[in-house]
């Protein structure tokens, strides 16, 4: 016959409590990430809409997080906006193109929203319809593109999205000759999004991919071969160049370029540690328990 000792009952309670603690730790991972997302949405409210768009990469109009970009343009224009994204984010860009009146159009056009990173590499859309065909009677086209999660580091051969500038381009990729130059209105919105711990990589890029805008200084081929003398000169100009290096003026995303320190991986790993410790204590006590 077994008698439940007070000590044993206490042990049971502790186990239950520990299990509950571990469970909260593991499940609760999403909450802080969500809070981060909310902050991202609110911080841009003061901005108001941007009413212009650039027509080249270098002339791209900068969008603050959560800010809307609008522009009146011609159907044959290529419109550019830029925004900054940090590691751990998963930006979604949506665009609406209000097409010219059906009576002035002659046929079907095809519209595309494309995203390029700070190195001007085209970044694929993981989800979202980023290309749409508009029949002649359609009044507007909605496009959407969600990037792959932005990683804090990637191998040089990899084309993973990295922290830094992102360029949005909205343009007609198929347009009847007669429909060129007609008035359109385009609006663009960027949502920073959050990738979650499962897609959270590590490492550090050193600095975001934000391209220079200033003119460079080229030395002719002959000068380059000068050797040490030439190199010294270059060092000097490089110092100057560093001083007036002008880049795209992007707002740093919430959580910084290399992303927030937070990830639910902390909880998983800590939870594993707790579980391991409890298992160790349990195993020890099981072997060492007094036999009745």
- Which residue, 98 or 214, has its beta carbon nearer to another protein? 214
Q: Determine, following the binding rule CB under 8 A, whether residue 150 of this chain makes contact with another protein.
A: no
Q: Determine, following the binding rule CB under 8 A, whether residue 5 of this chain makes contact with another protein.
A: no
**Closest CB 63 distance from another protein, rounded Å:** 14
Q: Determine, following the binding rule CB under 8 A, whether residue 129 of this chain makes contact with another protein.
A: no
Q: Determine, following the binding rule CB under 8 A, whether residue 264 of this chain makes contact with another protein.
A: yes
Pairing outcome for strands 78-85 and 61-62: parallel
Sequence-ordered list of residues with C-beta below 8 angstroms from that of 273, at least 6 positions apart, any chain: none
Site for another protein in 42-101 (CB under 8 A): 52, 54-59, 61, 72-74, 76-78
Pairing outcome for strands 122-123 and 68-74: unpaired
Cβ–Cβ under 8 Å, residues 54 and 61: yes
**Closest CB 102 distance from another protein, rounded Å:** 14
C-alpha distance across the termini of the chain, in Å: 10
Q: Determine, following the binding rule CB under 8 A, whether residue 6 of this chain makes contact with another protein.
A: no
Cβ–Cβ under 8 Å, residues 123 and 166: yes
- Which residue, 21 or 126, has its beta carbon nearer to another protein? 21
Question: Judged by CB under 8 A, which of 1, 155, 227, 229 binds another protein?
Answer: 155
**Closest CB 92 distance from another protein, rounded Å:** 22
Q: Determine, following the binding rule CB under 8 A, whether residue 14 of this chain makes contact with another protein.
A: yes
**Closest CB 96 distance from another protein, rounded Å:** 19
The residue among 94, 82, 42 whose CA lies nearest residue 66 is: 42
Q: Determine, following the binding rule CB under 8 A, whether residue 257 of this chain makes contact with another protein.
A: yes
Q: Determine, following the binding rule CB under 8 A, whether residue 171 of this chain makes contact with another protein.
A: yes
Site for another protein in 205-244 (CB under 8 A): 205-221, 223-225, 230-231, 234, 237-238, 241-244
Give the other-Cβ count within 10 Å of 36's Cβ.
Answer: 18
Pairing outcome for strands 164-174 and 109-117: antiparallel
- Which residue, 45 or 223, has its beta carbon nearer to another protein? 223
- Which residue, 138 or 278, has its beta carbon nearer to another protein? 278
Stretch that binds another protein, among 31-39, 119-127, 142-150, 187-195 (CB under 8 A): 119-127
Indicate the angle between helix axes 265-288 and 6-27, nearest 10 degrees.
Answer: 160
Between CA 113 and CA 67 the distance in angstroms is 17
Number of residues that bind another protein (CB under 8 A): 123
Q: How many CA atoms lie within 13 A of 136 on its CB side?
A: 9
Pairing outcome for strands 78-85 and 164-174: antiparallel
**Closest CB 126 distance from another protein, rounded Å:** 18
């Amino acid at each position: 016959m077994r008698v439940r000792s007070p000590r044993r009952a206490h042990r049971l309670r502790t186990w239950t409590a520990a299990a509950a603690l571990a469970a909260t730790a593991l499940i609760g991972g999403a909450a802080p990430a969500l809070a981060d997302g909310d902050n991202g949405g609110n911080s841009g409210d003061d901005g108001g809409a941007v009413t212009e768009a650039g027509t080249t990469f270098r002339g791209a109009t900068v969008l603050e997080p959560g800010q809307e970009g609008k522009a009146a343009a011609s159907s044959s224009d290529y419109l550019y906006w830029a925004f900054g994204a940090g590691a751990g984010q998963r930006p979604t860009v949506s665009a609406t193109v209000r097409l010219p009146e059906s009576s002035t159009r002659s046929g079907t056009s095809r519209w595309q929203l494309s995203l390029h990173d700070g190195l001007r590499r085209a970044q694929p859309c993981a989800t979202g319809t980023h290309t749409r065909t508009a029949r002649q009677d359609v009044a507007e086209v909605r496009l959407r593109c969600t990037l792959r999660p932005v990683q804090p580091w990637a191998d040089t051969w990899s084309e993973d999205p990295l922290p830094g500038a992102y360029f949005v381009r909205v343009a007609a990729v198929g347009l009847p000759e007669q429909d060129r130059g007609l008035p359109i209105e385009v609006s663009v919105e960027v949502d920073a999004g959050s990738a979650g711990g499962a897609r959270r990589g590590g490492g550090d890029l050193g600095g975001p991919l934000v391209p220079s805008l200033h003119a460079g200084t080229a030395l002719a081929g002959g000068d380059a071969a000068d050797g040490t003398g030439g190199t010294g000169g270059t060092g000097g100009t490089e110092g100057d160049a560093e001083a007036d290096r002008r880049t795209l003026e992007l707002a740093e995303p919430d959580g910084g370029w290399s992303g927030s320190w937070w990830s639910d991986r902390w909880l998983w790993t800590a939870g594993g540690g707790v579980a391991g410790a409890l298992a160790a204590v349990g195993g020890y006590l099981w072997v060492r328990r007094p036999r009745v």
